[in-house]
Amino acid sequence: MEYLELLKRLEELIKAPSYRIVGKLKDTPLLWTSTEGAFNLSVLRGDKLDRITKGPIAGSANPKSQLDYVPIIRDVERGKELHSIFVVNLKGEEYELASPKMRITSIAYDEKSVVFTGSSQNSTALYIVEGGKLRKVVDTPPISVVTDVNGDHIAGYGVFARRFRSSEVFLADKSGEVKVITPKEGSVNVANSLKEGKLYFTSDYEYSGEREWIYTYDVESGEIRRVKFAYDDLERSQPTSLTIEPDDKLVIASKNGESGLYIDGKEIETPEGNVTGATKVGDRVYFTHTHLLRKSAIYSHDLRDSTTRVVIDSGVSIKGKVEFLKVKNGDVEVPTFIVTPENRKDVGVIYVHGGPWGSVDNRWDTLIASLLINGYVVIAPNFRGSTGYGYKFMLMNVGDIGGGDLSDVVRVRDYVIEKKVVNRVGIMGYSYGGFMTLLALGKEPDKWDFGIAGAAVADWVEMYELGDSAFKGFIIMAFNGDNKELMKERSPITYVENVRAPLCIIQSQNDSRTPALPILKYSQRLQELGKKFELHLIPDMGHIPYTMDDVMKVVLPAVLFLERETRKEKS
């Protein structure tokens, strides 16, 4: 095996910078970037990026355009996702604001305060830092997100009705009084921002879960209105999901794994793929864009003459083709991407995304790219439960984790074999994708030539017992209640005796989402049964990679395992 060449390919791929616009500070575009070997915040000054954070960050608030600073969060416990809050300004000056050392799941701010949702072992709550003092405002459901604060009003959304197939927006004041708002019982509603006495939010209530639109809630009158734009391009496109920046009427709209950019309802021409962020400065709209075969680039669109140019490009692309199709599985159509590199092998990898409420879109994914550059055909099913295809589709796996969604994955595997897309096929995933990988190897053992599971769930019952309030709430929602029998029935440890394919397990020691202990027990059982597997336990790292070295620690053992196993089979 040519180790040095493989290492060189992976290093070039992973260390090439990525960019995503998150907004602006004082007419200066602000971006999440992976420059200098870590995820950080940078600003775009002219055609040059300047990093403003001093070390890896775990998250940030949506920036306020009238201010020159933004709160950020950092993991201060070696990957365990126990966070502290810092503030950084345009000059790159930082200071620590508060150190709650709990899992911070969302954060927002205005001129006077910073608010966040945080989870400890036993509770989730809305907190505020004001006048340098940290205090709890009110307890909230485990699944809750704060999106904005403006004066006395705090906005967000969450699973307040405890139906698990709907969400409601909320308005809270700083004394802890909470008003829960929904335009229709059972609908899915996501708060965006507060502007001029109105709460902007998206909802599917007019479309029965098939797609969504943008609405406003008047804070004083309680009136809900549908947002209208000057142009009708956006409405005619009938997107399934939307994000809005109300100040400049910028909307990113998605459908079938692609997304476009609109200003006041008028489409801005963008390349094939996905717009990942946008902001308006004067007569220019800056946006970041990516594709399954091209890493991200920063663009500038001139509204005066409708010209677009590339400002900064990562410079990384892969030769190949992307195909999007929908595979029939009973009454469900499974949206699927098949990505074939130019230097293809006759080996396919069924790549299962995380979440489960996530997706594979036509956008860069480092794990997928690491497979493509080594010649593997990647087949990425957006199984029931995936986002971007309407909330009705997304919520189909609530109460059926590892059931219909696994059936979708297996059906797509059978499709590519039937159609002779590839001759051999394995399965790979991280987080929920790791769980699906282990479950698929145990419940459908004859379907796979190999498996790679990263940050996997091996035992839902034990994960629940080890989890904090946020992840206990996630599991209760996923299983539509405290259904321990179903959790056990859908746990990979239950089927470990059936595993036949060679298996690579990659697990971080400090992971507090999918903890290491159940995986170690699963691996011990594999050892007792004489199964063929390898286990990579990564120290001083959690569920989320914060640096490019962290990413390499996950990618490298996966690719080396694949190279060994597929060459053996070929010989």
- Give the strand order in the sheet containing 213-218: 189-195, 198-203, 213-218, 224-226
Q: Which residue in 226, 158, 242, 151 sits closest to 194, CA to CA?
A: 151
Place of tokens 């595979």: 327
Place of tokens 């998206």: 202
Helix 404-418 vs helix 432-443: crossing angle, to nearest 10: 70
Q: How many CA atoms lie within 13 A of 109 on its CB side?
A: 27
Alpha-carbon distances of 285 from 21, 251, 262, 308, 314, rounded to whole Å:
11, 12, 10, 9, 19
Q: What angle is formed at CA 527 by the lines to CA 525 and CA 528, rounded to 5 degrees?
A: 65
How many other CB atoms sit within 10 Å of the CB of residue 163?
15
CA–CA gap between residue 128 and residue 113 (Å, rounded): 7
| Tokens linked to 520 | 């170690």
- Are residues 254 and 244 in contact, defined by beta-carbon separation less than 8 angstroms? no
How many other CB atoms sit within 10 Å of the CB of residue 269?
9
CA–CA gap between residue 225 and residue 216 (Å, rounded): 5
CA–CA gap between residue 434 and residue 92 (Å, rounded): 38
Place of tokens 């860069």: 364
DSSP β-bridge partners for residue 16 = none
**Which 3-state string (H, E, C) describes 306-320?**
CEEEEEEECCCECCE
3-state SS assignment for residue 397: helix
CA–CA gap between residue 567 and residue 132 (Å, rounded): 60
| Tokens linked to 198 | 């109105």
CA–CA gap between residue 151 and residue 147 (Å, rounded): 14
Secondary element (H or E) of residue 88 = strand 83-89
**What is the set of active-site residues?**
431, 511, 543
Tell me the residue type at 370.
S
